[in-house]
Amino acid sequence: MRTSPLRGVLRFVVFLPLGLTVACGTGPAEVVAPAPPGPSIVAAPATTSTPPAPMPKNPAPRPAPRIADRSAEPLIKAAGRVEPGTTLGVLVHDRLTGEDLLAHNADRPFRTASLVKLLLAIDVLERGATPTDRDRLTRMLSVSDDDLGSLYWVRQGGAEMLARTSARLGLTGVLPPEVPGQWGEVVMTPRDVAAIYRYVLDLRPAYRSLIVNALADAPRLAADGFDQHFGIPDGLRSPWAVKQGWGNNDTAMVLHSTGLAGPDYRYVVVLLSEHPLGSGWATSARSVTAAATALRGLLPAG
């Protein structure tokens, strides 16, 4: 049994090797037994972020403002003070100017954990979603439901879905998992993740609204009880719509905070992170939140 020290995962799970083994990283190859009896998880208030209306498309770029310091060093130092072994990947894109404001390890590969659910949602919607699909996609994104992630990974073709969506979105760093069923082991770069969000905002309005509203309604506790408001929600303190990811395999722990932030969702913010095994979920989550907090004063206002 694998339980998260941050929020207990009240179920028995058996995973194939190399799979990310905490929620947001399971695959259809897992065998899930009934949850053992135990204390109930008392949910914290479901803080969410109300999206702008109407949902903003990517605007025509305006002249870029002068920014004295575009270094991601403040984010790197802030994360490192909490967890010295943190490896951070950063990409912050200003949709108003069309520029990348901050970039660090932007082309470095990271295991995605639940971020691959963004591609699953896009593929399902663009290939024809039923009303049941739309309800399931909303839940899969907002509470990061892994069972639904597994369902759609199988239904959409797994690696074939990755190849199809990567070509359509122009993603260059996406790799399938080494073990086909372990969708949490899909690899992407921060630049790929930022491109996914920009693509989402140019989808037809109904698709765009479904995805962004689900991300803006992400409650504090995910389906497995994990506190998914680390990073952007607790650190940046601006309007947000986020997809988070967390998991570990036999080499590292990963925690990712990604999404849209700021007035009219001006910014695409991607914070991907790896941590040494044994760092602890609470410590690793705080390091990502520290990085997001350090970002506050670096973004142009308005």
Mean pLDDT value across residues 11-33: 45
Number of independent structural domains in the chain: 1
Evaluate whether residue 216 is within a structural domain: yes
- Integer angstrom CA distances of residue 156 from 8, 71, 125, 127, 261: 30, 39, 11, 9, 29
Evaluate whether residue 84 is within a structural domain: yes
Range of the domain at 205: 12-36+72-298
d(CA 238, CA 51) in angstroms, rounded, equals: 11
Averaged pLDDT of the chain: 85
What is the pLDDT at residue 12? 28
Evaluate whether residue 124 is within a structural domain: yes
Evaluate whether residue 133 is within a structural domain: yes
Evaluate whether residue 170 is within a structural domain: yes
Least confident of 50-64, 71-85, 125-139, 266-280: 50-64
Evaluate whether residue 191 is within a structural domain: yes
Condensed to tens digits (0 to 9), the pLDDT of residues 139-150 reads: 999 999 999 999
* Token pair in block for residue 68: 């004295």
Evaluate whether residue 165 is within a structural domain: yes
- Single pTM value for the model: 0.86
Q: Which amino acid is at 12?
A: F
CATH number of the domain at 119, please.
3.40.710.10
Asked if pLDDT for residue 52 goes beyond 90, the answer is no
More confident residue, 260 or 22: 260
Which residues have C-beta within 8 Å of that of residue 155, sequence separation ≥ 6? none
